[in-house]
Copies of this chain bind each other. A is one copy, B any other.
């Protein structure tokens, strides 16, 4: 690495990272909307989880994980189960979590991003690494949902529109 790059010379602020994540979440919301209702719950490829199951994972991470980080609560990972029975209910939860993520993210002091927390009682790493993982994991599964949409003959939203 560049000898001038030290730990004190950094390139992304918390507010920029939050805006980056919420931009991705806005795109993921449009991908959910693009699914036909039935196929959202039933279609998959190669034995993978359905779109609804993949989105349940994203919902189990984003807002609950930020709440857990703020409260330093190591309670285990849990998915919502069978409560979300329609796309509309998924979208309603998605929007509630958008607000919750904004609220909890703002409660992480800048100096805490480098601190270690044992998320869900099993992922012990710096908070910044956990948050980058949430974003990466969402992009990863959303990329899979793009293939599902193509497999269903549905045009997905443009990747670069946030």
Query: Which A residues have a C-beta under 8 Å from some C-beta of B?
Result: 1-2, 4-7, 9-18, 20, 24, 45-48, 105-111, 113-114, 128, 132-133, 136-137, 139-144, 146-153, 159-160
Total copies of the chain? 2
20 more A-B residue pairs beyond the given contacts A11-B110, A137-B159, A139-B143, with a C-beta to C-beta distance below 8 A: A2-B107, A2-B108, A5-B15, A7-B13, A9-B110, A10-B10, A10-B11, A10-B13, A11-B13, A11-B114, A12-B17, A45-B45, A45-B147, A46-B147, A46-B151, A46-B153, A47-B150, A48-B147, A140-B146, A144-B144
Task: Specify which of B11, B141, B142, B160 is in contact with A14 (CB 8 Å cutoff).
Answer: B11
Once the chains are docked, how many angstroms separate the CA of A153 from the CA of B13? 42
Could you tell me if B2 and A6 are in contact, using CB atoms closer than 8 angstroms? no
Measured CA separation A132–B6 after assembly (Å): 20
Give bound CA distance, A9 to B1, whole Å.
22
Q: Can you list 16 A-B pairs with a CB-CB distance of less than 8 A?
A: A1-B14, A10-B10, A10-B11, A10-B12, A10-B110, A11-B113, A16-B128, A24-B136, A45-B150, A46-B149, A46-B150, A46-B151, A47-B150, A137-B159, A139-B140, A147-B147
